[in-house]
Chain A
């Protein structure tokens, strides 16, 4: 019984040379086989669990849809809502150059939609009103989760109008502006598409931000902006509404007055004092001075 041969013979003979314990080895193999069966069983259970979880997610996605549609309608009556929410988001606002901010004024709505089966992917769409920057009215970025575990990313190829979309140059010109602004245009995000599956774990942080943070509850950020500026205020919702409006209307108005590249106005709003319109700082008690006319 050549030890080598014994070992290589068939499943069931292992490490004879160590102890000549074929008997145990045979049992060993059997145990390993049984173990494999159990792992297979566990795998089936896990797959079933994943399917059930997916079903739940699909079901609730269907439930959410009409609510999101309803929300979209309400948002339509709040001009510059998405603009405000984006600018108020601490991380997102850092991604917008001065030029981007001007472009965002034409943003009419945001849409995030999962594929019907949820697991195949999702799409983020920015809807814009006709604007002087690009021809498109819809900028979309789609993430498709493929079988092999990679993600395919496709996005709208922006049709910039003449002289537009040269973000870098424009950003530099406005360097003097105090408002935090990015170096590179946010819109390059639409160019970051992967046609190859080089990177398995593509981590599109902006997409995550929009899908998991802003889209689920943009109202938080809408209010946050107001909160930030008047941090000493802790009044109730009423006050927040109030401050939010000050800010909101401020943006809305600048929007309509915004015919020239007056970036200073924006800077002022978020500037250190924020005191022009936001006399809220004095309004802590909400009662105000009443109208003593």
Chain B
């Protein structure tokens, strides 16, 4: 029994040359096989768990939908709501150039919608009123979760003549004191698409912030801004440091209604 050959014979005979423990090895193989079965069992349990969790998420997404629709109606009666909320968001506001700010004045609403089954993806849509910047009234970015990765598609913005040259314009208005302005236009976010699935873990932070943060509760941010400042964004005059004119909300709590005299 050549040691080498012994080893090559069949699963179960290993390392004869070391100790000739074929018997143990046979049991070993059995144990490993059992172990594999158990892992398969665990995998099934995990898949079932994932499905059940997904069902819950799908169910509650359906429940949320009409509430979001209701919310959208109310927001329509609050001028510049999304604009304000966006600018009040500490992270998002940093992404807007001065030019972007002007464009955002035409923002009529924001929509974030999961695919029906939740797990396949979602889309973020910025609805704009007719404006001098681009032809589109809807700018959408869609994330589709595929097995091999995430596919990202977005509207190719139809900029009007002379528009959409973020860098050039941004520099011109450099004088603006407003702290929030980026170098690169926020709208380049619509160019960041991936058609290949090179990157499995595509991490679109802007998308995440919009979806998980701003969309869930924009009122938090809207209120923050109202506390700070006026609604004007790019008008220099009202950037009064005290911001004391309109932000009576802080004082409103006491309800010092003196009444109209």
| A interface residues with partner B (beta carbon < 8 Å) | 1-2, 4-11, 14-15, 17-18, 27-28, 31-32, 34-36, 38-39, 41-43, 45-46, 48-49, 52-53, 56-57, 59-60, 63-64, 67-68, 70-71, 74-75, 77-78, 216-217, 219, 222, 238, 241-242, 244-246, 248-250, 253, 277, 279, 283, 288-293
Contacts and interface: CB of A to CB of B under 8 A. Distances in A.
Interface stretch (B149-157, B169-177, B196-204, B248-256): B248-256
A8 B259 CA distance: 10
A212 to B, nearest CB: 12
B28 interface: yes
Shortest beta-carbon contacts, A-B, top 7: A288-B8, A60-B49, A49-B60, A10-B257, A8-B248, A245-B14, A56-B52
Nearest to B75: A35
A25 B18 CA distance: 89
Given A2-B261, A292-B5, 12 more contacts: A31-B77, A42-B68, A56-B56, A75-B31, A77-B27, A78-B32, A238-B11, A246-B14, A253-B15, A277-B18, A289-B4, A291-B6
B34 interface: yes
Contacts of A238: 11
A277 B15 contact: yes
16 contacts: A2-B261, A7-B246, A11-B252, A15-B231, A45-B63, A45-B64, A53-B53, A71-B42, A238-B11, A244-B32, A249-B21, A249-B25, A253-B15, A279-B7, A290-B8, A291-B1
B36 A291 contact: no
Contact of B28 (A53, A78, A253, A279): A78
Interface of B: 1-2, 4-9, 11, 14-15, 18-19, 21, 25, 27-29, 31-32, 34-36, 38-39, 41-43, 45-46, 48-49, 52-53, 56-57, 60, 63-64, 67-68, 70-71, 74-75, 77-78, 216-217, 219-220, 222-223, 230-231, 245-246, 248-249, 251-252, 255-261
Nearest to A27: B77
A135 to B, nearest CB: 31
Contacts of A222: 32
B105 to A, nearest CB: 15
A17 B246 CA distance: 9
A231 to B, nearest CB: 19
A78 B26 CA distance: 11
Contact of B60 (A5, A48, A219): A48
A77 B35 CA distance: 10
A75 B257 contact: no
A64 B48 CA distance: 11
A245 B11 contact: yes
A42 B67 contact: yes
Contact of B5 (A75, A242, A288): A288
A74 B35 contact: yes
Given A1-B260, A45-B67, A238-B11, A78 B35 contact: yes
B93 to A, nearest CB: 20
A77 to B, nearest CB: 5
Contacts of B245: 4, 7, 15, 17
Contacts of B38: 67, 70-71, 74
A258 to B, nearest CB: 14
A217 B39 contact: yes
Given A249-B15, A293-B2, A217 B42 contact: yes
